[in-house]
Amino acid sequence: MKNTTQRVAIVTGANRGLGKEVSRQLAEQGDLVIVTARQLSSAQQTLEELGLDNLLAAQLDITNQESIDQLVKFVEQRFSAVDVLINNAAIHYDTWQNVVNADLNTVQEAMDTNVYGAWRMTQAFLPLLQNSQQARIVNVSSGAGAIKNQTGSTPAYSMSKIALNSLTLMLANQLKSSGILVNAVCPGWVATDMGGSGGRPVEQGASGITWATNLPANGPTGGFFRDGKEIEF
């Protein structure tokens, strides 16, 4: 169970890649981390692999409101507040298509997970986040979501990350008076199942996400960052 000063963090898509590494980094700095995955067994396996005491496993499908509501109940039964929400889960790095020939069903699927999933999670957990003294929401985005980088490739992924960046800015403006900081983070090209081989170490990409959870009360909100430095939307 958490101690009185320990933060409670929720990480979506935490059973592999960036989500798993961010969970490790947060737990190692003392946070109590709720590791979520679509299959509970995957989340439980992640706990075994990380081998840290301050982790909890939970099932979560961010495209399913009932699943999200069940997670809210799971958290409410154990904690009075959530201090960190990391919207990391994402799908469809669609290198096989471009904007001209894109399968719009694929685009819609990407939007449902990458944008609406983060939106659903934020709405559902907002009451618990508002119970925190210094809540932080971090949306894991990508340079593919920067307006200046739009070449027409990876249309599903890129469009979803553009929308996620917009959601970040809107939430930041709406929640500023509550003290909740909301930022988007680009982890860079990272060697994960989605990013493929050749990228930088996952530890390096995850560190920028962890950094955004540790911003002080007077820290930035509504920003887009990579490695702790602001970049253009």
Catalytic annotation, residues: 157
Q: Which residue type sits at 59?
A: Q
- Asked if 183 contacts 225 with a C-beta cutoff of 8 angstroms, the reply is yes
- Order across the sheet with 8-11: list the strands: 55-59, 32-37, 8-11, 84-87, 136-140, 181-185, 224-226, 229-230
Q: How many CB atoms lie within 10 A of CB 31?
A: 23
Instruction: Please report the sign of the dihedral spanned by the C-alpha atoms of residue 49, residue 76, residue 134, residue 181.
Output: positive
58 forms beta bridges with: 36
User: Residue 185's closest CA among 219, 153, 231, 217?
Assistant: 231
Report the C-alpha gap between 9 and 36 in whole angstroms: 11
Alpha carbons 19 and 230: distance in angstroms, whole number:
21
